[in-house]
Amino acid sequence: MPEKRLPLGFVFRSRAKEEKAAVADKAPLTDSKQPRDPQAPKGRPTPKRSVAQSQRRSVANTPTTRKEAAKRQRDDRRAQMERQRQALAGGDERYLPARDKGPVRRFARDFVDSRFNVAEWFLPMAVVILVLSMVRVASLQSMALLLWLVVIVLIVLDSIVTGFRLKKRLAERFPDDNRRGAVAYALMRSLQMRRLRLPKPQVKRGARP
């Protein structure tokens, strides 16, 4: 009995159809009702509007040149300095410099600002002593020298008492916090006149911090 031969076109066409059907069966099902962003890659869900807007905003805000990046850094630095200046004037803890931040440093400032300090009159008295020493009168020059010695002794004694009391109060109030440098920070603040201190004093004289 003679063997039946199939046409070549029928063989190639059937094999091609079978391969396409197999690929279609392996393809993942997608929801055809879900709208797709024209700019989104095929096969991915459309991002939410808020996400898309934030992405576009971040791309738009990204500097494209070195000059723009440097300008943006200068603007950010200027804005940060302005926030620090306002914080130093108003006492806002969020934007204070690192050396002024924290409850320990705030207590040290309040402790110094609440009492009278001999050291805060150092600059005015130094000007007076300088003027007296320039006058070519022996008695006035001797008085200026004596006054200078008295001021130095008073400042040293007052600083020792202030530092001792502040160290004791800090140990009682903040036993578990880092108190390193707080006493020196307060003594340096006591050398400044009250109206010139930064951050600005937040307590009145005589008040208990």
pLDDT tens sequence across 56-111: 555 555 656 888 888 888 888 888 777 767 767 776 777 788 899 999 999 999 99
Say which residues have a Cβ less than 8 Å from residue 186's Cβ, sequence separation at least 6: 108, 109, 111, 112, 162, 163, 166
CA distance 171 to 108: 12
pLDDT at res. 133: 87
| Angle, CA of 99, 206 and 128, to the nearest 5° | 75
pLDDT at res. 75: 81
Give the three-class secondary structure for 36. coil
Nearest of 112, 134, 89 to residue 182 by alpha carbon: 112
Given a contact cutoff of 8 angstroms between Cβ atoms, the answer to whether 112 and 200 are in contact is no
CA distance 50 to 125: 64
Sign of CA dihedral 134, 140, 142, 145: negative
Nearest of 97, 108, 81 to residue 201 by alpha carbon: 108
CA distance 173 to 187: 19
Buried-state track 133-160, b at ≥16 Cβ within 10 A, e below 16: eeeeeeeeeeebeeebeebeeebeebbe
Q: What would the two tokens of residue 204 be? A: 């009145």
pLDDT tier at 30 (50, 70, 90 boundaries)? very low
CA distance 103 to 167: 14
pTM of the model: 0.62
pLDDT tens digits for 141-198? 899 899 999 999 999 999 999 999 999 999 999 999 999 999 999 999 999 999 999 8
Tell me the one-letter amino acid at 117.
Answer: N
